[in-house]
Structure 1
């Protein structure tokens, strides 16, 4: 009896050690039937992305593209799919561009992925989390999903391909979401066009098991349609006409003028929100989304990379991260301080090409 007990204890210790070592990995890769499964594995940090994670994702996704029927990506824990990139690191002049380079290469690959890419966006999905999901073929929202692109609050622009997917949303919704950082939840995420299907979070495990057995696109489509729940009325429905009108304006100043004319609870709240954002970021974001509407995903990412690299060298991005995430005094001192001070030269300086050796190169570039 004693021997058995000792043996069991050793086995238990061994299995505990294995569990602990797997927990230390920030991204997990598994094969299940015909699917490659990715788990973003930093639940305490809401699965926010760091360089280590994106550097591992690129080679694994490229390998699976030629070996699997599909790829499924999800977040560890119950709270988040991915709350974005680790911006405390991204503000560094050296580490920031290195991180953005690797991250944008993953975004680019997802956008041109040859096999179905299924993102289970259960929980918080912000910034870089949208970059890891929205460019793929299928995005599954649940009642726990909450999406946002909150970059204008920290002195950046909605990147990770935000300049590509936001201007392509209906009725200027993307310009509204990109400038205000407003959040959408649950079935609204499908209504907006950011998610493709809505499935109850209780059914995700079952869905994942069945998806992994699919052998082709038709089977995947049929299965997702069986699990999909019909969407309800969009929570922004009453203000869609106002969003479409206000955010069709060609300048931030004119957007504000139009909002002032609307005069309802939504417009008052939206004006207040815009007033809390970084003035430079608002103008940079509008310019990026206006240009991105005419560009491919790759061109958008190259444009965003120029802006992101310049943001690490300028005042507002490090200052926004300091005020909101490091010191948490919520009192950023923006430079330029007002919209009037953000002139065209300032905006254009962010979009100028970088030196050739510093430009964003994609992994499949012929150069």
Structure 2
């Protein structure tokens, strides 16, 4: 299935199907070319990171994470590097997420990769969040899961009309990690709760209007924008912002179109302000609008365990620092690896592709508080440390 088919406009009832297609792409993780999987170059004033696995939508593996992390730390120390830019090769994706299939295989075989991947990915997310130098992500094309973690914690995120954002993890028995518990509850109203639980996709200008991206430019202006950034002489954050603002202001595409969820925001804010998944579902049932009924259909397909973990993750994350959130999310990642639904979700969506996961437990009411508390419990000496 080509990506063009994924992006063909369909009714939003089909958004779950589209999410699955994108998740399938994440599963194709063999890199056969001799080119490096990530380019790390100093150009002008900037350290430039280019994710280079276009055939698999630049999905992220452990060796890429390690290379990016160590180079980022070096550049942070170098006085001659005053700006960091991250982008994806190939034009279709910035980064469609982490290499989920490899993690699932490793988890099943009780291999260390399953711990290392999450530990080192979250450490990189934290490093981006605390980076002292202006950090600019050019999030052109598919930007999901791990790709969001590589961009959203930095100072500037530039979306284009081709940007496609989602955190679709509840569909594969996982949760919106990579610091999702930090940035999602900080979006307007209950928007982040809605995006986390439903995996709803935002496209183009909506990625900026929803608060994920800081700027929006036409994709054909990206090369010029990059050139102007690279030409800056030891820029401050303000200098970088000035360049980005100039491009953003000139871009007229969909400028006057309302945010895609604008007409539903009151409904989202009221329905998703409940403190339990069951209550959110009841709110949607009582609301009864076509939009609410559409979300109920989405909820029915998601892992009940993932929904419960995710709601609590987002609620708790709303008052935690990014580092505290990542420590919590590492505990949750290990709980998912100990459980059933993650492997089943990967099987149904990525491996056998029957799109028919058999979740266990199958009903929300079967998931006890005791089980949930256990997912959030400290791992002692195995906890993520910064």
What's the TM-score, normalizing by structure 1? 0.91
* Counterpart position of 2:385: 361
Counterpart secondary structure, 2:190: helix
Relative distance call for 1:62 and 1:22 in structure 2 (3 A) is farther
Alignment match of 1:334 (pick from 359, 365, 368): 359
Residue-by-residue CA offset, 1:304-360 (whole Å, 9 max, x unaligned): 00010121121111111111001111111111111111111111111111131x111
Moved more, 214-223 or 202-211: 214-223
Question: Of residues 87, 96, 107 in structure 2, which corresponds to 1:74?
Answer: 87
Matching residue of 1:6: none
CA contact (8 A) 1:23 1:41 kept: no
Deviations 1:13-63, CA, capped at 9 Å, x for gaps = xxxxxxx99952111011110001000010001000000100111110001
Alignment-derived partner of residue 168 in structure 2: 150
Q: Distance in 2 between matches of 1:79 and 1:170?
A: 28
SS across alignment from 1:347: helix
| Aligned-pair CA distance for 1:100 | 0.6
* Residue 364 (structure 2) pairs with residue 351 (structure 1): no
Worse-matched range after superposition: 109-118 or 84-93: 84-93
Q: Who is 2:221 aligned against? A: 203
**Match of residue 310 from structure 1:** 335
**Correspondence 1:110 to 2:123:** no
Q: What value does the CA root-mean-square deviation take over the aligned residues?
A: 1.4
Aligned match for 1:185, one of 187, 195, 203: 203
Aligned residue in 1 for 2:179: 161
Q: CA separation in 2, counterparts of 1:48 and 1:34?
A: 27
Per the alignment, residue 25 of structure 2 pairs with none
Mapped to 1, the partners of 2:34 and 2:167 lie a distance apart of 28
State the secondary structure of the residue aligned to 1:158: coil
Whether 1:54 aligns to 2:65 is yes
Matches within 5 A, 1:28-43: 28-43=39-54
Q: Is contact 1:35–1:213 with CA below 8 Å preserved after alignment?
A: no
In 2: Cα distance, 1:218 partner to 1:317 partner:
43
The answer for the alignment partner of 1:64 in structure 2 is 75
2:17 — aligned with what? none
Matched residue pairs, number? 342
Instruction: For residue 257 of structure 1, give the secondary structure of its aligned residue in structure 2.
Output: helix
Where does structure 2 lack aligned partners over 5 or more consecutive residues?
Answer: 1-30
Structure showing greater Rg: 1
Q: Tell me whether 231-240 or 114-123 shows the greater mean CA deviation.
A: 231-240
SS at match of 2:98: coil
Deviation at 1:218, TM superposition (A): 2.5
1:89 paired with 2:109, answer no
Aligned residue for 2:346? Answer: 321
- 3-state secondary structure, aligned to 1:28: strand
Of residues 270, 274, 281 in structure 2, which corresponds to 1:256?
281
Q: Tell me which moved more, 187-196 or 208-217.
A: 208-217
Residue 200 (structure 1) shift: 0.5
1:120 lines up with 2:109 in the alignment: no
* Structure 1 equivalent of residue 11 of structure 2: none
How far apart, in 2, do the equivalents of 1:292 and 1:123 lie? 28
Residue in 2 aligned with 1:227?
Answer: 247
Q: Secondary structure at the match of 2:75?
A: helix
Runs of 4+ in 1 over 6 A off after TM superposition: none
Distance 2:34 2:180 in 1: 31
- 2:161 match: secondary structure: coil
Q: CA deviation at 1:78?
A: 1.2
Aligned mates of 1:294, 1:327 — CA distance in 2: 39
**Is 2:156 the partner of 1:138?**
yes
Partner of 1:17: none
Q: Which moved more, 1:180-189 or 1:217-226?
A: 217-226
Partner Cα distance (2:308, 2:337) in 1: 17
